[in-house]
Amino acid sequence: MRITGDQRRRRLVAHQLALGVDRPGLPAARSPEDVTRRLVALHATDAPSVHLAVLARVPGLTLDDVRDALFERRDLVRVLGMRRTMFVVRREMVPVVHAGAATAVAGRLRARLLKELATLPTDPPVADPEALLAAAEYQVHAALVEHGPLDGAQLSRAAPLLRTAFLPTTDKAWDVRRTMTSPLLAVLSAEGSVVRGEPRGAWTSPRHVWELMTDWFPDGIPALDEDAARVELARAWLEAFGPATVADLKWWTGWNLGQARRAVAALDVREVEVEVGAPGADVQVADGVMLRSTDLDGLGPAGPADDVAQGHAALLPTLDPTTMGWTARDWYLGPHRPLLFDSAGNAGATVWWQGRVVGAWTARPDGEVVWRLLEDVGPEGEAAVAAEAARIGALLGGVGFTPGYVTPLYRELRA
C-alpha cells in the first residue's frame, strides 16, 4: 500500500494543525492539554514556542490558558527528553518519556560532565570529580528545600559548588569561561531530580526557576521498564506522525536504529510505502509503517480530511513539533529548507498552507506580525495567511518576542 504525499499532507492538517475542528471519531481539542496529547510533545527549547504552538492550533485559546495548564494545574510538564531536547508533555507521559528517552540521555550527560571535570582546567582545580558532583547535587537539593523555586543565578549563589568553572583551552571566541551550573542542572533534569518551573518575567522569558521534581511528583516519577516505555512512546508517535519511516522515529526519539526497530516490532503495525519527495517533484518513495488502527478513510479528495485541509493556513513557531516531526521533510517543506532552518538544523517560524510550508513569519518587538511567502498560494491563500497573522497578533496583545534560533529569512523579516 502506498501513502501519497497529498494524503500525508491532508492527514497532517487534520491530525496536527486544525485541532480545533471536530471530525468524525476525532473531537476537537479544547485545551492546551488536548493539543499536547495529539502531538505527543511540544518543543520547549525556545521559550515562546510552547504557547505559540498551542495558539496556532486552537482558535479561542489564550496565553493565559497555556500558563494555567503549565503552572497552575501542572497538567503539562517540562522535561529534558528525546534527543537531549527540552519538551513539554502531558503529566501522564512524563514516566514514558523519562524511561524511554531521558534516562539514556542522563547517563550520557553525566558521563560527559565527569569527563570534563577530570580532563579540562577548572577554577578551582578539581581533585575528585565524582565527589565534587555528589557534593554539588547535595547543595542544589538543600537549597531548593530551604528556599523553594530558584532561578539559575539564585541557585548558583545558594549552592556555591555550581560556580566551579571550566577555563578556556583555546583562543576561539566561543571558548569562554563557563560554570558548572547549566550542565549539572541539565543532568539533574534528565535524571528527574529537578524540573523547570515558571519563568521570571514575561511568558517569552527563558529564565525559568528550578524546583524539586518531588514538588510536582511527591513520590518521584513513577518507574517504568525502559523497553515498555519505548514501545509506548513509539505507539504515541506513530499515532500522531504516522504513516512514517522507522528512520523518522529513530531521529525523533534519539534512539539507535535497533531500539527503534524493536519498539515498532512490538506494535500492531502494517508496512506501507510513503512518498517523501517535495510536492510536484518526481515521486520518491520510502519504506514506512503505520499503526494498523490508523484510519485512512476519507483522505482522498473531497473526503473529511480534505475538507479540513482545504483553505487551511497556520503560523507555526520556531521548533514547532510538526515542522520538526520527521527527518525526511521534503514532502511538506519543499525546497525552502535553506531559508527556514539555521545551520544546525533548527526550524524557524513557518507559514503553512494546506499542509505544506510556504513561508516564514515573526512578531516584531511591538507585537506586529509580519510574514513573507516563498511561493504563490493564490488570493485565497494570501487572504487566509493574512487573517491568521491578524488573529495571532491580536492574541499577542502588542508584545513581540525574539526567537532563540535565527534563520536567514528571519533576519530579513526582522529588519
pLDDT score for 352: 98
Predicted TM-score (pTM) of the model is 0.94
Report the C-alpha gap between 311 and 63 in whole angstroms.
25
Helix (H/G/I), strand (E/B), else coil: 285: strand
The burial of 249, by beta-carbon neighbours within 10 Å (0-12 exposed, 13-18 middle, 19 or more buried), is given as buried
DSSP 84: G
How many other C-beta atoms are found inside a 10 Å radius of the C-beta of residue 303?
16
DSSP 222: P
pLDDT score for 307: 67
C-beta of residue 350 within 8 angstroms of C-beta of residue 340: yes
Alpha carbons within 13 A on the beta-carbon side of 259: 20
Strand bridging mode 42-43 / 76-80? unpaired
pLDDT score for 302: 45
Report the C-alpha gap between 341 and 106 in whole angstroms.
27
Report the C-alpha gap between 294 and 243 in whole angstroms.
8
Cell of 9: 499532507
pLDDT score for 386: 98
DSSP 60: T
Averages of pLDDT over runs of 10 residues in the chain (415 residues) are 94 95 87 98 95 97 97 97 97 98 98 97 97 98 98 96 96 92 97 96 93 97 98 98 98 98 98 92 92 72 61 97 97 95 94 97 91 96 98 92 88 82
Report the C-alpha gap between 415 and 413 in whole angstroms.
6
Report the C-alpha gap between 281 and 38 in whole angstroms.
30
Q: Please calculate the CA angle 122-107-205 and round it to the nearest 5 degrees.
A: 70
Measure Cα distances from 260 to 12, 79, 141, 346, 383 in Å: 22, 21, 35, 23, 42
Say what angle helices 378-396 and 49-57 make with each other, to 10 degrees: 130
C-beta of residue 323 within 8 angstroms of C-beta of residue 359: no
C-beta of residue 59 within 8 angstroms of C-beta of residue 76: no
pLDDT score for 22: 86
**Maximal CA-CA distance, the chain:** 70
pLDDT score for 308: 74
- φ, ψ for residue 313, nearest 5 deg: -120, 145
The DSSP code sequence of 318-338 is TT-TTTTS-S--HHHHTT-HH
Alpha carbon 359 to its chain centroid, in Å, reads: 20
Report the C-alpha gap between 360 and 347 in whole angstroms.
10
pLDDT score for 365: 86
